[in-house]
Amino acid sequence: MEGLDVSSAPARDNTITNPVIPGFHPDPSICRVGEDYYLVCSSFEYFPGVPVFHSRDLVHWTQIGNALDRPSQLRLPPETSASGGLYAPTLRHHDGRFWLIVTNVSSDGNVLFTATDPAGPWSDPIRLPGVHGIDPDLAWDEDGTCWCTLAGVSQVRIDTHTGETIGEPRRVWSGTPGAKAPEAPHLYRIGDYWYLLIAEGGTERCHGVSIARGRTLDGPFEACPDNPILTHRGTEHPIQNTGHGDLVQGPDGSWWMVFLGVRPQGGTPGWHVLGRETFLAPVTWVDDWPVVGDVAPVMAAPPWPLQEPAVVPVRDDFDGGELAHGWLSPRSRPAENYSTGERPGWLSLRARGTSMDDPEVTFLGRRQQHLSCRTRVLADAADGSGGLAVRLDEQHHYEIEATPGQVQVIARIGTLRTVVATHPTAAGPVVLRVEVSATSKVTDPRQGPDTVTLGVEDGQGVFVELAALDGRYLSTEVAGGFTGRVIGVYAAAGTVHFDWFDHEPVED
């Protein structure tokens, strides 16, 4: 289903709608090759890892693959914690090849991959045992030497063919005095300077982007007098936690920044449920320093023609042999547990774990990308139990689970797990439904960000609501971590079959 492969912001009167890649797509890194832009994001504990996007206008993005889509590339052991796994990739194009470096905090440390086509296939990993830290960046100097810069901010030369380090790492900049967590470094040669862009302040409300420059790649670096060049800390801006940026130049010579941010909803302190999303902002230059323009939900578009927005089908009928790029599973996806051929035209899930609480649950989902949305599936649980779930992690999820003759709504919030409602069903497949409704008007500072309503459809297609649950408990502010909601199907016992998966935005 191509609809699961597309993340695009619709153009309105030649404008940009931010975020340009909505939903759980944090830590964007971008590069341009000719007329094409490519972008990757962190994927944490999910498999396949590191989604790869393509655009020709910086506004409309299509997922063309996942860089790490084979077990030989991505090891996420069962003990990988939620929000573990893959952190902060950097994507670059050099010497006719694409280069991707990323940190696997749960097994292999820093690893390097290459490809001639960003859609794949990507190489098996080149391990970098001498490169310590997270958020690795790649930059090449004039003689072709590759430098890796990491959170901290430290720097070391590497041999990209063997993965060996050359010399000892050295600290090159510590960011703004008093600001915590200098991370997400990116190095660029622009004009007469090397620029070192970093995130700092932590990835919560104090997040920001700062920059320094030097005459050589390894410094010394002087800080921009106007740091941070991007932050929304201490404001009531609807987009918060702005940081982790990467710069790219447009075909007309203009500059742009992609970065992460969140959209808090509800009362105080505000809860974001979609995770950290990818936003876009214009950049101008004053006295050889970048100045980030206004960031808004709707902005003026780049000064070149926009693509037609992709038409996003709402349904996956599981008729093809391969799953679409946007589907993801926690930690692994063993072939014996996931099949579109066991019952032609159906997705068949064979249980491993016993519930959504289990790190090894058989679960296949897609990122929630809209503040309000509706998801429906046709499930046949005659040979097991399973259903439709809204997942943040193993300790924070809501689901409607089908067993022969019955469905039940289950809520897991921290250490509390409860069956909220049960409902009898007729024999045969049943339509399960989840509706997410964003809070449109805050009347109480304690009001949550949205309501998650779970139920079934009767034989005439009428929705039977079984439970309406507060969405704040499936938010980062409650659960912690770095990810966002994923909505999908699962098996808790035996084998469960799904004929179709229907997911669409709902207008507020």
| Annotated catalytic residue, options 5, 27, 45, 380 | 27
| Annotated catalytic residue, options 135, 183, 200, 450 | 183
Picking from 125, 70, 127, 78, the residue whose alpha carbon sits closest to that of residue 106 is 78
Picking from 113, 21, 95, the residue whose alpha carbon sits closest to that of residue 60 is 21
Distance of CA 265 to the CA centre of its chain: 19
Q: What is the rounded CA–CA span in Å between residue 233 and residue 206?
A: 5
Using an 8 Å Cβ cutoff, are 160 and 196 in contact?
A: no
Using an 8 Å Cβ cutoff, are 261 and 242 in contact?
A: yes
Residues 6+ apart with CB under 8 A from 441: none
Q: What is the rounded CA–CA span in Å between residue 200 and residue 179?
A: 6
CA distances from 420 to 337, 429, 466 (A): 28, 22, 8
DSSP alpha helix (H) spans, 151-297? none
Task: List the structure tokens of 260.
Answer: 């992460």
183 is catalytic: yes
- The span from the first CA to the last CA of the chain, in angstroms, equals 26
27 is catalytic: yes
Q: What is the rounded CA–CA span in Å between residue 442 and residue 458?
A: 33
**For the residues of 289-334, what is the DSSP string, one character each?**
EEEE----SEEEPPSSPPPPPPP---EE---SSS--TT-BEES---
Amino acid identity for residue 314 in this structure: V
Residue positions annotated with a catalytic role: 27, 183
